[in-house]
Amino acid sequence: MTDIQGTVVAAFGRQYEIRLPETGELLLCYPRGKKSLLAVGDRVTVQRTAPGQGVIQASAPRTTFLYRSDLWRQKLIAANASLLVLVVATEPGFSAELLTRCLVAAEHENMRALLVLNKADLADRLPAARLLLAPFENLGYPILELAALSGTGLSPLKVLLKGEASVLVGQSGMGKSTLINALVPDAEAQTREISSALDSGKHTTTFSRLYQLPDGGSLIDCPGVQAFGLAHLTRGEIESGFPEFRPFLNRCRFRDCRHDREPDCALRAAIEARAITPARFAHYQRIVSEQMAPG
């Protein structure tokens, strides 16, 4: 049988939907073997086994790999993405620490990041949301305000997504699905096709999906996240994931400084000098407290 190259465009359990780039045909495939660590966006080699079906033979090396983990398991998010799009909203409230965790993961993978503030038309809620995002904006992370439901502010976002392999991440309730439907006109139809192929509707809000954008590029949508563990990163990798920490790393008196109570700690001095915000440092402390790997 002939090997065919394709891209994972949807993942649900041990089933994957593979798009063949030359024809756009979709195959529902299983991997060989019992274990599967494939993510949406992975480039794979498949063989047909029946009309519309196939088996995954191998996967190609990744340029980036975004996932979250705790001490017991990991949750794959996206492979080969170049841009992380974090969606928050003026209502309901969002977690700044969750944003920090996502950004640390992106920094580790050398991915660029964009923060999207949805429901910006809720004027009474806008100042509080802007205040919560200010530390990220001060670090240089771009922030785009829009209202996905009315379509306000979508044009600048489309320009930023053009030609990129983007992944959309956000807490539940941020309006991510509304944003996807505004960016990809047939997104709902594609989701229904997946559910029909699986003979089940229960997957419609629980699987990741890659969409081709009308103006070029792709966008991976994944289920809403309420937590983002970074157990796969060492303490040193976490430190490097905070851009404002970098000028002060390796400047502490002690080489193995944990930035806790040690004397002459460069990070604590930076907090006193307001070069590092106490809130961001508190995020760092909570993240490293979960780690078992040495830095």
Common-topology check for domains 4-59 and 65-221: no
Kindly give the residue spans of alpha helices, DSSP state H, lying in 83-153.
Answer: 96-108, 126-138
pLDDT tens digits in sequence order for the chain, 295 residues long: 688 999 999 988 788 999 998 888 999 999 987 677 899 999 999 999 999 999 999 999 999 999 999 878 899 999 999 999 999 999 999 999 999 999 999 999 999 999 999 999 999 999 999 999 999 999 999 999 999 999 999 999 999 999 999 999 999 899 998 999 999 987 774 555 555 554 443 434 467 899 999 989 999 998 889 999 999 999 999 999 999 999 999 899 998 898 988 899 999 999 999 999 999 999 999 999 987 544 4
Amino acid at residue number 144: L
Strands 53-59 and 65-69: unpaired
Looking from the CA of 216 toward its CB, the CA atoms found within 13 Å total 5
Superfamily of domain 235-289: Probable gtpase engc; domain 3 (1.10.40.50)
Superfamily of domain 4-59: Nucleic acid-binding proteins (2.40.50.140)
Report the interhelical angle of 187-198 vs 176-183 (nearest 10°).
110
Closest CA to 260 of 271, 252, 268: 268
| Domain ranges (residues) in the chain | 4-59, 65-221, 235-289
User: At 47, which helix (H) or strand (E)?
Assistant: strand 43-50
Q: Has domain 65-221 been given CATH number 3.30.420.40?
A: no
Give the bridge partners for 6, in sequence order.
44
DSSP 62: P
Which tens digit of pLDDT belongs to each residue from 205-220?
467 899 999 989 999 9
Full-model pTM? 0.90
